[in-house]
Amino acid sequence: MKHIAELCGVSVATVSKIVNRKDDDVKEETRLRVLKTVEEEGYFINTLARSMKTKNTKTLGLIVPDIKNAYYTDTSRGAEDMAVRKGYTLFLCNTDDSINKEISYLVKLMEKQVDGIIIIASMERDVEMEELLKINVPFAVLNSSTNYKDYAVKVQVDNYKGMYEGVEHLLGLGHKKIMYLQGETRLSFGEERFRGYKDALEKHGIAYDDNLVATTTFNVEGAYGYLRENGLVPETTAIMCGNDLMALGVLNWAKEECIDVPGDLSIIGYDDTIFSVISSPKITTVNQHCHLVGEILVKELLEKIDSEDFTQRMIPVASHLVVRESTGKPMIH
């Protein structure tokens, strides 16, 4: 800036005003002259120096277990979209669900003076909360049941409703025996979905049956392996799965057993990923609006940063069922 000022024969104050578009009081002629020199010299504003004065960096930290997991990828992308739109840039932080990596990143972000932090953590941990207490920067957490201090924004996906709608869809088609093949998790959403499953059944006068609920891993092999080993409870005509990969596993098993989908068996997945649409038949699934969730996380976080309102907020985001080809009326035998 000093260099530019000298070249143009003006002071740095003048250059500063111009590059920051606070140039109401500078002559059009000098404005143009300075801008031209800026262009010619390939000058870039040094935001480091600026931030020292302004006390903000227009930078956020994005903490995510693993960007390779489709769910997090979409959410991250939504976060990034909103961030650019608002003039912010994101630091990408993968933690692999390791508390050490997470803390190490948290420290790094503080050192880098980020204006806020988005935490899309999959684990529930109190250790982290303790650590967070020293972090006096606004942050936004997704799907956390932890009770953070006041500068937190909590965004919650409505897992209860997503599950409820799925089961209701099956009940509406006439299914009576609906299995729930859930994924293993210590997170609160597992319990919420379970409630959704149970409530939907009871609301429609169907007794809850423990034998119809099974737990396995969140992938193709998990679901496939479970059915291969245990088969179906007699008269089961539909399965709700923990995610689309599990639904795919069920589909593969059904094919092998010559069970027609959806003729003999209806299947519902969860997440509405590409998997639900490349399979044949295409899978009915619950869309959680990951991209939107990412956008909301950033939007709410920035609002918290801008306002002086430091009360904890909770923002719910609805899920909705996407009906495709893997569900239909149960055959009458």
Partner DNA sequence: TTGTACGCGTTATCAA
Partner DNA sequence: TTGATAACGCGTACAA
Position 25 contacts DNA (CB under 7 A): yes
Position 107 contacts its own copies (CB under 8 A): yes
Separation CA 270–CA 250 (nearest Å): 13
Separation CA 51–CA 310 (nearest Å): 23
Separation CA 141–CA 249 (nearest Å): 31
Position 2 contacts DNA (CB under 7 A): yes
Contacting residue, 91, 146, 198, 213, with its own copies by CB under 8 A: 91
Position 148 contacts its own copies (CB under 8 A): no
Q: Which is nearer to DNA, 10 or 152 (CB)?
A: 10
Minimum distance from residue 61 beta carbon to its own copies (Å)? 9
Bridge pairing between strands 178-183 and 213-216: parallel
55: left (phi over 0), alpha (psi -120 to 50) or beta: left
Contacting residue, 7, 26, 110, 317, with DNA by CB under 7 A: 26
Residue 55: count of CB within 10 angstroms of its CB? 8
Minimum distance from residue 322 beta carbon to its own copies (Å)? 17
Q: Which is nearer to DNA, 24 or 130 (CB)?
A: 24
As to burial, measured by CB atoms within 10 angstroms (0-12 exposed, 13-18 middle, 19+ buried), residue 222 is buried
Position 108 contacts its own copies (CB under 8 A): yes
Structure tokens at 45: 């504003």
Position 275 contacts its own copies (CB under 8 A): yes
Contacting residue, 16, 69, 73, 219, with DNA by CB under 7 A: 16
Position 299 contacts DNA (CB under 7 A): no
Q: Find out whether 121 and 127 touch, Cβ atoms under 8 Å.
A: no
Per CB under 7 A, contacts with DNA among 172-201 are: none
Position 280 contacts its own copies (CB under 8 A): yes
Position 117 contacts its own copies (CB under 8 A): no
